[in-house]
């Protein structure tokens, strides 16, 4: 073990940094070198969660009445703190999650921009006025905050996903209890620290780390919790959704099995580049990552050759090294899961034409490294074609027609993101109608979404109730009243 002193980080409850009443802790480790301990965090229990929810409940009346411009000023100040510390925060994010430090920098900047975006949008988010026949009456809708919101987030975008939930929650006057992934609590801590330094009143944001099995249920079922915004696996989302009462709103952004269709008229260099960028960025651990390539049989051989060639050029390594494109998987569960699915692919008769081995030599020995894998001749009904893997594994599925491509693309439980590569405008337009996905792209990667556009999935990729991101991202955090005002 590396013996440098490991810093201990506390929960943030009612404006105070405090230890868990459990007196237990856990460690966050570097997935590129598991001997490097990033920090020690509170293994909270239900008593901590209860105190945090009560603090948020008590802070709500005052915060919801605070002038929107003051709420916005706090978000802007927190954004400035993130921006002033981009390099240091990116380093911590890379150490904790494994993504490349340039991607980590972009995530810090994007998170600051998200705080600023909602500081502006939230101040002009309002109801409507409805014309009516009574000259002495005005009919309008008013938007008001809900109350206490639980924010539960994953490790893959450990700063930007919390930012895109917490910023709209706070600007609209809600108070928050935030539980990050136990794989990335440090960068989540930094977001809360920035809000605390920016002067957020006590109880408005509360931060509790710990296992889902210890704290998850109460974050969902406590009667004071009016809404749960969650991003993570579909299994956890279904569990949370089934436990929430009907007066608790839920917003679930879940798993995906995102297809890229390559038509016979496609620019195959572009198709291979889009596949590489969509499938392997973040080491395949993006919810919108390309997991299936559905390719017309006329171009399958040439496309596969190009894909293998581009994949073999990717540098694997530590996220601090220049030029690295594939880093470690984020944790041991991820490593085991990815290796398990590579075995499923082989057992189901697909051809592993590239990679797929765990890397255990040299510097890779202490990290969770796997070579990117490409399977061809994948049967549409096999597990690697149907189930989310969440790693750098591409399943190439051959089809005869556009109609068959759509049928295969839609024949999964998920519907998060999808793309097509074609120069045929008619097919491209038809694709936007036929595909079952919340994010639909043409000649672009399945990954990536704008901060100012709605984001979310269909089918088991989302509850499809409220979208995240953009102006509509504010809707989840407000309720409507219709006011009939007679003069
Ligand atoms: P996960 O579901 O294991 O955990 C996500 C968070 O939920 C963590 O904080 C975890 O502690 C908590 N949690 C888990 N089970 C819970 C329960 N029963 N009750 C309350 N809280 C619970 O997911 P992960 O491994 O952190 O992230 C990977 C998953 O996230 C993938 O499935 C990926 O597709 C998905 N994801 C989706 C999006 C999206 O926007 N759709 C974005 C990123 C990641």
Minimum CA distance residue for ligand 1 atom 15? 236
Minimum CA distance residue for ligand 1 atom 21? 216
Q: Is the pLDDT of residue 464 over 90?
A: no
Give the residue numbers marked as catalytic: 253, 287
What H or E segment, with its residue span, contains residue 142? Answer: strand 137-145
Q: Is 236 in the pocket of ligand 1 (CB under 6 A)?
A: yes
Residues 110/189, Cβ–Cβ less than 8 Å? no
Minimum CA distance residue for ligand 1 atom 34? 255
The confidence score (pLDDT) of residue 307 equals 98
Q: Is 228 in the pocket of ligand 1 (CB under 6 A)?
A: no
The confidence score (pLDDT) of residue 1 equals 47
57-85 tens-digit pLDDT? 999 999 999 999 999 999 999 999 999 99
Q: Is the pLDDT of residue 299 over 60?
A: yes
Q: How far apart are CA 329 and CA 182, in angstroms?
A: 15
For residue 57, what are the CA distances in angstroms to 5, 50, 206, 247?
A: 37, 10, 11, 16
17-57 tens-digit pLDDT? 999 999 999 999 999 999 999 999 999 999 999 999 999 99
Q: How far apart are CA 144 and CA 475, in angstroms?
A: 10
Confidence of residue 4 (pLDDT cuts 50, 70, 90): low
Q: How far apart are CA 103 and CA 83, in angstroms?
A: 15
Q: Is 216 in the pocket of ligand 1 (CB under 6 A)?
A: yes
Cβ neighbors of 213 (< 8 A, separation 6 or more) are: none
Q: Is the pLDDT of residue 162 over 50?
A: yes
* Ligand 1 centroid, distance to 7 Cα (angstroms): 26
Q: How far apart are CA 338 and CA 284, in angstroms?
A: 10
Q: Is the pLDDT of residue 13 over 50?
A: yes
What H or E segment, with its residue span, contains residue 399? Answer: strand 393-399
Averaged pLDDT, 428-457:
98
Of 169, 181, 153, 171, nearest to 226 by C-alpha is 169
* Ligand 1 centroid, distance to 156 Cα (angstroms): 9
* Ligand 1 centroid, distance to 279 Cα (angstroms): 19
Choosing from 151, 155, 236, 333 the residue with most ligand 1 atoms within 8 A of its CB, the one to mutate for a pocket test is 236
Q: How is residue 359 annotated by DSSP?
A: -
Ligand 1 atom closest to the Cα of residue 461 is 41
Ligand 1 atom closest to the Cα of residue 157 is 43
Percentages of the chain per state (helix, strand, coil), in multiples of 5 = 40, 25, 35
236-281 tens-digit pLDDT? 999 999 999 999 999 999 999 999 999 999 999 999 999 999 999 9
311-360 tens-digit pLDDT? 999 999 999 999 999 999 999 999 999 999 999 999 999 999 999 999 99
Choosing from 28, 42, 207, 233 the residue with most ligand 1 atoms within 8 A of its CB, the one to mutate for a pocket test is 233
Ligand 1 atom closest to the Cα of residue 468 is 40
Could you give phi then psi for residue 7, rounded to 5 degrees? -80, 145
């Amino acid at each position: 073990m590396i013996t440098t002193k490991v810093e201990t980080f506390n929960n943030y409850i009612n404006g105070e940094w405090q230890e868990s009443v459990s007196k237990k802790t856990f460690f966050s480790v570097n997935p590129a070198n598991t001997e490097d301990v990033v920090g020690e965090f509170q293994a909270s229990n239900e008593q901590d969660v209860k105190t945090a929810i009560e603090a948020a409940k008590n802070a709500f009346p005052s915060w919801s009445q605070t002038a929107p411009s003051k709420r916005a000023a706090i978000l802007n100040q927190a954004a400035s703190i993130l921006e002033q510390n981009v390099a240091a925060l990116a380093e911590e994010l890379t150490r904790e999650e494994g993504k490349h430090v340039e991607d980590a920098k972009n995530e810090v900047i994007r998170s600051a921009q998200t705080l600023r975006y909602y500081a502006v949008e939230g101040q002009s988010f309002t109801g409507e006025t409805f014309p009516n026949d009574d000259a002495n009456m005005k009919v309008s809708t008013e938007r008001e905050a809900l109350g206490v919101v639980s924010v539960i987030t994953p490790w893959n975008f450990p700063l930007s996903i919390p930012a895109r939930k917490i910023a709209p929650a706070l600007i609209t006057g809600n108070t928050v209890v935030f539980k990050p992934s136990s794989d990335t609590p440090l960068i989540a801590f930094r977001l809360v620290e920035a809000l605390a330094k920016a002067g957020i009143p006590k109880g408005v944001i509360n931060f509790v780390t710990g296992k889902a099995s210890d704290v998850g249920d109460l974050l969902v079922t406590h009667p004071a919790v009016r809404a749960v915004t969650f991003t993570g696996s579909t299994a956890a989302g279904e569990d949370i959704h089934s436990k929430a009462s009907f007066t608790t709103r839920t917003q679930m952004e879940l798993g995906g099995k995102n297809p890229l269709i390559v038509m016979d008229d496609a620019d195959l260099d572009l198709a291979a580049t889009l596949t590489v960028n969509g499938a392997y960025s973040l080491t395949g651990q993006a919810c919108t990552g390309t997991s299936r390539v559905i390719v017309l049989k006329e171009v399958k051989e040439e496309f596969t050759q190009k894909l293998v060639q581009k994949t073999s050029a990717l540098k694997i390594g530590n996220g601090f090294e220049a030029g690295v494109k594939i880093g470690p998987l984020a944790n041991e569960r991820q490593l085991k899961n990815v290796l398990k699915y590579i075995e499923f692919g082989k057992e189901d008769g697909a051809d592993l034409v590239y990679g797929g081995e765990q890397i255990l030599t040299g510097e890779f020995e202490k990290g969770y490294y796997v070579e990117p894998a490409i399977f061809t001749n994948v049967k549409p009904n096999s597990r690697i074609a149907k189930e989310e893997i969440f790693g750098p594994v591409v399943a190439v599925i051959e089809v005869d027609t556009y109609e068959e491509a759509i049928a295969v693309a839609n024949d999964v439980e998920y519907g998060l993101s999808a793309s097509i590569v074609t120069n045929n405008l008619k097919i491209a337009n038809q694709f936007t109608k036929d595909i079952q996905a919340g994010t639909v792209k043409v000649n672009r990667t399945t990954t990536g979404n704008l901060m100012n556009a709605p984001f979310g999935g269909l089918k088991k990729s989302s509850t499809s109730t409220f979208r995240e991101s953009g102006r509509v991202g504010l809707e989840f955090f407000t309720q409507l009243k219709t006011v009939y005002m007679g003069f």
